[in-house]
Amino acid sequence: MLGSFELFGKEYSYYAVLALIGALLAGAFSFIFAKKRGLNEVKMVFLLLFSVIGVFIGGHLLYAVTNIDKLAYLPKVQNFMEFIYLMAFVFGGQVFYGGLLGGILAGVIYAKVTKLDNFSGYADIAACAVPLFHVFGRIGCFLSGCCYGVESDFGFTFHNAVIESANGVNRFPVQLFEAGFNVCLFIFLLFMLGKDKFKNRLFMLYMFLYAIVRFILEYFRGDEYRGFLFGLSTSQIISVLIVITIGLYAIIYKIRKKESK
């Protein structure tokens, strides 16, 4: 929508600024709630910092997967600068699911290496922190136009979106709908955290609910460069796998719980 703004003679991306604000708020929230729930707030911060590394790597890797067809230009590269340009194009974006899964993997590795006690307790807090961060990330997406909705009578027209194809057409504000959903998800999970509901399984509840809504919202997105398979987007396929995996876990958990009685 706006792309970027200028401050003191320098240009700043709305997405980068809002993502930073979201990260700081999510970190502050996690620090406060870790302390409130008797967990080590410093370890909570380090867990998040290591997870951010996974988010960065995973987000770029999944973006590259959605652009894997661009590697077909590799044999045509004539010099090192062209190679760098091609790699920057292939790996130059972020996909949320890649970041989420990368962050989870990095967090698990950190917990294993440091032998973190009560890892699931820290994960319950992270279940609230992630949608809190995501609210600001999606608003940043809307302002930058880096991901956009389908053509629609209801919505907004981009003029300075970072993706040229988004401009000049009235588009459904799917980013704002996802931001609104994340606000609701944060409030709901915070309530569940306060009531100790789904204790030690709150992150799975977050992933399950988000996956369902993300699957639906994908039909309202118009940025087809994300890659498609069997008529579904990359994010829809991941959503389906998440729902199936968590659903099977819930069934097995209930069966074992009944057998132990």
Choice between 4 and 160, residue whose per-residue pLDDT is larger: 160
The two tokens of residue 184 are 């609701």
The two tokens of residue 109 are 């590795």
Write a three-state SS string for 33-89: HHHHCCCCHHHHHHHHHHHHHHHHHHHHHHHHHHCHHHHHHHHHCCCHHHHHHHHHH
Number of independent structural domains in the chain: 1
**35: in domain:** yes
Query: Tens of pLDDT along 181-206?
Result: 999 999 999 999 999 999 999 999 99
Mean pLDDT confidence for 125-147:
91
> Which residues form the domain of 161?
4-39+118-259
What residues contact residue 135 under an 8 Å CB cut-off, 6+ apart? 22, 179, 182, 183, 186
**167: in domain:** yes
Task: Say how many Å lie between the first and final Cα of the chain, rounded.
Answer: 57
pLDDT of residue 120: 94
Query: Tens of pLDDT along 209-256?
Result: 999 999 999 999 887 655 566 778 889 999 999 999 999 988 887 887
**128: in domain:** yes
**220: in domain:** yes
* 13 beta partners: 4
**76: in domain:** no
**246: in domain:** yes
Flag whether pLDDT at 132 surpasses 80: yes
**79: in domain:** no
**131: in domain:** yes
Choice between 193 and 155, residue whose per-residue pLDDT is larger: 193
